[in-house]
Amino acid sequence: MKIGFNKPYITGKETKYIKNVVKNDKISGNGIYTKKCHEKFRNLLNNKQNLLTTSCTDALEMTAILANIQPGDEVVMPTYTFVSTANAFILRGAKVVFVDSREDHPGMNEDKIEEVINEKTKAIVPVHYAGVACDMDKILALAKKHHLLVIEDAAQGIDNFYKGKPLGSIGDMGCFSFHETKNIQCGEGGLIAINNSNLSNRAEIIWEKGTNRSAFWRGEVDKYNWVDLGSSFLPSEITAACLYAQLEEIENIQNKRKVIWNQYNDELSSLKNIGPGLPIVPKYSTNNAHMFYLVCRTPKERAQLIEHLKLNNINSVFHYICLHDSPYYNNKHDGREMLNAKRYEENLVRLPLWVNMSEKQVMFVIQKVLEFYK
């Protein structure tokens, strides 16, 4: 039995909808399936506006333009995140200021944010690691106090909630990923959620390469023009059609993932006292079962566990390298230690979790993990 780390879930309707796109001779973006997806996300997020993008990276880059990030501005974010979170703002000339992880969770330590805020700070970018919510009340209070924008990196946070509010709909803007490793996927894809009505009109223009083309197609202007910065952020209708098939099945997908996550959590709970740490989900957050991870006690233990699972044909993987300590950024970092983030960098291991994993496969992974710690 060979168990890969991830296997993209296909509902079966993707090819049908893609054939419809080809048949209708409208393959470029912002067609019928893009609009269908936008409607689905309005219902999911209950917010002002949502725009599909070619990736979460593009969605983040749009937020940096919308936030009017200028050279010399500072943006606060966790060090334990994917490089796109930082690149989006560095491309606009900002200085990224990193914050350590929490002791009990790889997400950013909300209590460490205020100490790095100064007159140059423009935005806070919380990352909902593993789909688990950051403490948004604390972050929003800081943003209000210091007149900052809040941009949620909810790449892993689809269909998860903070005190009943959908992740990505709480800050001024939110970003999602639909990469094939995510809960719902279209190979490569993303979404920018606009929750601040002051940003809505400009968001659509930036999305359409800096033009007012969407307004033109709606008959609001007699011709479209280059009116602002922008880029080709919108995906093709083929991508949107694939994503729409996934959105139709989101409840079914989520239920299956949660069964697997709960099975891991229940069967491996005995390890809390003798070995690695298990995921923590705070009371203010729900759990969308994006990933299941273990936090080993030492880097050596993690390497040995990964090797043990590999010998049993199970592909488990580690995750991020801290951005403050990366080859690109380490000489720009201010020297603050990020001890919790480094602990997750060195010790965290992710177990396979995908929709069509059988109970037999899940139990096999569990047995081999328990066997290692025995």
The pLDDT tens digits of the residues spanning 117-150 come to 999 999 999 999 999 999 999 999 999 999 999 9
The confidence band for 85, taking pLDDT boundaries of 50, 70 and 90, is very high
Q: d(Cα 88, Cα 62) in Å, to the nearest integer?
A: 8
269 and 229 in a single domain? The answer is no
More confident residue, 273 or 78: 78
What whole-number percentage of the chain has pLDDT above 90? 93
Averaged pLDDT score across all residues of the chain: 96
Note whether 26 and 153 are same-domain residues.
Answer: yes
pLDDT category of residue 222 using cuts at 50, 70 and 90: confident
Whether 143 and 200 map to the same domain: the answer is: yes
Structural domain includes residue 191 = yes
Instruction: Tell me, yes or no, whether 258 and 227 share the same domain.
Output: no
Q: In this structure, is residue 208 part of a structural domain?
A: yes
Average pLDDT of the residues in 288-301: 98
Q: Give phi and psi for 344, each to the nearest 5.
A: -70, -40
Q: Are residues 227 and 113 in the same domain?
A: yes
Establish if 7 belongs to a structural domain. Answer: no
Q: What is the mean pLDDT of residues 289-309?
A: 98
Query: Residue 104: its pLDDT value, please?
Result: 95
pLDDT at position 362 is 98
pLDDT at 212: 87
Element (H, E) at 192: strand 190-194
pLDDT band at 218 (very low <50, low <70, confident <90, very high): confident
Exposure string for 244-269, b = 16+ CB within 10 A, e = fewer: bbbbbbbeebbebbeebbebbeebbe
Which of 3-12, 218-227, 228-237 shows the lowest per-residue confidence on average (mean pLDDT)?
A: 218-227
Position 157 pLDDT exceeds 90: yes
Last residue of a domain, one of 181, 215, 248: 248
Longest dimension (CA), the chain: 73
pLDDT band at 183 (very low <50, low <70, confident <90, very high): very high
User: Is the pLDDT assigned to residue 273 strictly greater than 90?
Assistant: no
Residue 8: inside a domain: no
Q: Is residue 274 part of a domain?
A: yes
Q: Is 344 found in the same domain as 261?
A: yes
Shared-domain flag, residues 194 and 305: no
Element spanning 255, H or E: helix 250-267
Where does the pLDDT of residue 214 fall: very low under 50, low under 70, confident under 90, or very high at 90 and above? confident
Locus of tokens 């995750």: 319
187 plus 275 within the same structural domain: no
Residue 5 lies in a domain: no
Q: For the chain, what is the radius of gyration of the CA atoms? A: 21
Q: End of a domain among 213, 248, 283?
A: 248
Contact 348, 106 (CB under 8 A): yes
Q: What confidence category does residue 215 fall into, taking pLDDT thresholds of 50, 70 and 90?
A: confident
Please give the average per-residue pLDDT across 176-188, as a whole number: 98
Q: What percentage of residues in the chain have a pLDDT greater than 70?
A: 100
d(C-alpha 282, C-alpha 109), whole Å: 13
Per-residue model confidence (pLDDT) at position 191 = 98
- Domain total of the chain: 2
**Do both 300 and 205 map to the same domain?**
no
Residue 233: the pLDDT is 96
What pLDDT does residue 4 have? 97
> Residue with structure tokens 């806070």?
124
Last residue of a domain, one of 248, 264, 287: 248
CA atoms within 13 A on the CB side of 374: 7
Helical segments of 164-236, H only: 200-207, 213-217
What is the per-residue pLDDT for 272?
A: 84
pLDDT value of residue 53: 98
What is the structure's pLDDT at 314? 98
pLDDT at residue 220 in the model: 81
Confidence band (pLDDT; 50, 70, 90) for 213?
A: confident
User: What's 126's domain CATH number?
Assistant: 3.40.640.10
Domain assignment of residue 275, given as a range:
250-373
Q: Is residue 153 part of a domain?
A: yes
Residue 262 shares a structural domain with residue 170: no
Q: Are residues 271 and 241 in the same domain?
A: no
- pLDDT at 224 (0 to 100): 86
217 shares its domain with 313:
no
End-to-end distance of the chain based on CA atoms, in angstroms? Answer: 22
Average pLDDT score over residue span 258-286: 95
Cα separation of 221 and 232, whole Å?
Answer: 21
**CATH number of the domain residue 307 falls in:** 3.90.1150.10
Q: Is the dihedral of CA 43, 44, 50, 51 positive or negative?
A: negative
Domain-embedded: residue 9: no
Interhelix angle for 83-90 vs 56-66, to 10°?
30
Instruction: Say yes or no to pLDDT of 219 above 80.
Output: no
